[in-house]
Structure 1
Amino acid sequence: MKSSLTKTVLALSAALGAGLIAAPAFANADLAQKKNCMACHAVDKKLVGPAYKDVAAKYAKDKAAVATLSTKIIKGGSGVWGPVPMPANSQVSEAEAKQLATWILSVK
């Protein structure tokens, strides 16, 4: 008979394989760097755009934050953080934008 630990490992493996559990390793600062987000943003300080920790704090209680930020990442935006507009980033796919938004919202 299989141990409880073995059953848990198998269940987690199956869930990961089925895509039911998001893998946070794909949504991180490396992806933000690769997609040139870090040219204007930093984790803990304002550059041209707001610090990611400030974005996370602003959207912390917004249930639509991932969708909102994903759209802004792809299409750009203006007026939320001041007069400097954020340009559209056409090199970011919809899936990558969601990964980036999820990561940004996790920054403390």
Structure 2
Amino acid sequence: MKRALFTLLCATTLSAPVMADQALATSKNCMACHALDRKLVGPSYKEVAAKYANDKSAVEKLAGKIQKGGAGTWGPVPMPANTQVSDAEAQKLAAWVLTVK
């Protein structure tokens, strides 16, 4: 019984960061162009997290790109502006993307 509870607790705890805001990303249509671990139209969240891993201003940079869009960082396909994403949601999404491993 204790072992089963421990296993369940560990599995839930270890998977929590990945699922933390995937629902928000899905609701804001981010997952239409991005995936956790493979390139779709845009880079995978895993690639983005690796690129910005040592950048202390990454959350602010990514939140800005989420809302205003961007071009040239990941190739010729521009990321459109996402005006439906609030400042708080953009910060939350950017912080979550940086946790994807």
TM-score range, shorter chain: 0.7 to 0.9
Aligned to 1:85: 78
Tell me the distance in 1 between the aligned counterparts of 2:36 and 2:65: 17
Query: Residue by residue, what CA displacement relative to the aligned partner does 1:37-64 show, whole Å, maximum 9, x if unpaired?
Result: 0000000000000000000000000000
Find 1:31's aligned residue among 19, 24, 35.
Answer: 24
Report the CA distance between 1:27 and its aligned residue: 4.9
Supply the AA of the counterpart residue of 1:61. N
Q: TM-score scaled to structure 1, two decimals?
A: 0.76
If you compute each CA radius of gyration, which structure gives the higher value, 1 or 2? 1
Q: Report the number of matched residues.
A: 85
SS of corresponding position for 2:70: coil
Structure 1 stretches of 4+ with a deviation exceeding 4 A read none
Supply the AA of the counterpart residue of 2:43. P
Tell me the distance in 2 between the aligned counterparts of 1:41 and 1:85: 13
Aligned to 1:68: 61
Aligned to 1:21: none
1:29-68 aligned within 5 A: 29-68=22-61
Aligned to 2:100: 107
Q: TM-score scaled to structure 2, two decimals?
A: 0.81
CA-atom RMSD, angstroms? 1.6
- Taking only the aligned residue pairs, the percentage that are identical comes to 69
- Are the equivalent residues in 2 in contact too, given 1:73–1:88 (CA < 8 A)? yes
